[in-house]
């Protein structure tokens, strides 16, 4: 069972995002650009900026030590706000600076695949591969399976956020950026707040429910402009 759970996690967090990227790039002209910028956005704003701040810089500050150790509500809110600020702010900045000529819903979906895909690979995919060669006693099969399932939900959520922010850039309606920021903050805050002392699968159900809502929103936006897919490559 442990090996099967590891394989499931690898499929969800490594094979799926890579496969989606390869298939889309092989079929559609120019789709590599939003996928690449999506991946770079997460890498720069989360991996290279936010995470080092949270793990290397802020732990040296007295207020942060107090908040993280004795103020769980404030700490969860802080993590939620900073995650939303860096990810949605980074998403908007990159789209506004580098993608003004590619602002369709399809480009937003591709951006989300790049963003959520590299997130899945870096946070879960690589470690899931290593777990295949790790004794089962060192990790719970249920936890490993949950991490893979969560990546499926998170990918759908990241695609939805990317479509919202792309709509902001395209229509210059900043309410969509604000909505993405609020949903992101509330989701991360809620998950952090309830994560202690309850089943991980309860958390996954909550995240999955949000993912369903974001998938519905993405589909609705795509159906408004079904002809905005990039030009197919000649085979």
Task: Tell me the DSSP string of 94-158.
Answer: HHHHH-TT--SHHHHHHHHHHHHHHHHIIIIIHHHHHHTTS-GGGS-HHHHHHHHHHHHHHHHHH
Most confident of 9-18, 192-201, 222-231: 9-18
Count of the separate structural domains present in the chain: 1
pLDDT score at 235: 47
* 105 part of a folded domain: yes
> Residue 229: is its pLDDT beyond 80?
no
136-181 pLDDT tens trace: 666 788 888 999 999 999 999 999 999 999 999 999 999 999 999 9
* 56 part of a folded domain: yes
pLDDT score at 174: 97
59-76 pLDDT tens trace: 999 999 999 999 999 999
- Nearest Cα neighbor of 78 from 62, 88, 69, 67 is 67
- Nearest Cα neighbor of 33 from 42, 44, 21 is 21
> Residue 113: is its pLDDT beyond 80?
yes
Give the pTM: 0.94
What domain range includes position 173?
A: 2-224
186-217 pLDDT tens trace: 999 999 988 777 788 889 999 999 999 999 99
Q: What is the C-alpha separation between 56 and 59, in angstroms, rounded?
A: 6
pLDDT score at 201: 87
* 47 part of a folded domain: yes
> Residue 1: is its pLDDT beyond 90?
no
* 232 part of a folded domain: no
33-67 pLDDT tens trace: 999 999 999 999 999 999 999 999 999 999 999 99
* 231 part of a folded domain: no
User: Which residue matches tokens 């936890």?
Assistant: 143
* 39 part of a folded domain: yes
Give the burial class of 141: count Cβ atoms within 10 A of its Cβ; 0-12 exposed, 13-18 middle, 19 or more buried: middle
* 234 part of a folded domain: no
Q: What is the mean pLDDT of residues 122-135?
A: 89
* 156 part of a folded domain: yes
């Amino acid at each position: 069972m442990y090996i099967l759970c590891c394989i499931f996690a690898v499929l969800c967090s490594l094979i799926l995002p890579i496969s989606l990227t390869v298939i889309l790039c092989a079929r559609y002209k120019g789709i590599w650009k939003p996928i690449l910028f999506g991946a770079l956005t997460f890498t720069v704003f989360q991996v290279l900026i936010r995470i080092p701040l949270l793990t290397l810089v802020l732990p040296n500050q007295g207020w942060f030590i107090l908040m993280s150790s004795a103020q769980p509500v404030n700490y969860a809110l802080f993590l939620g706000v900073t995650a939303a600020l860096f990810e949605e702010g980074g998403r908007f900045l990159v789209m506004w600076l580098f993608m003004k000529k590619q602002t369709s819903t399809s480009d937003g979906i591709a951006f989300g695949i790049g963003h959520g895909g590299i997130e899945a690979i870096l946070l879960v995919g690589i470690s899931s591969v290593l777990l295949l060669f790790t004794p089962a006693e060192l990790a719970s099969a249920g936890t490993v399976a949950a991490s893979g399932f969560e990546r499926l939900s998170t990918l759908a959520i990241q695609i939805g956020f990317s479509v919202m922010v792309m709509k902001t850039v395209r229509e210059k309606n900043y309410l969509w950026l604000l909505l993405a920021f609020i949903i992101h903050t509330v989701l991360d805050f809620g998950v952090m707040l309830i994560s202690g002392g309850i089943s991980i699968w309860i958390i996954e159900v909550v995240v999955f429910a949000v993912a369903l809502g974001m998938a519905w929103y993405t589909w609705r936006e795509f159906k408004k402009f079904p002809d905005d897919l990039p030009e197919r490559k000649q085979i």
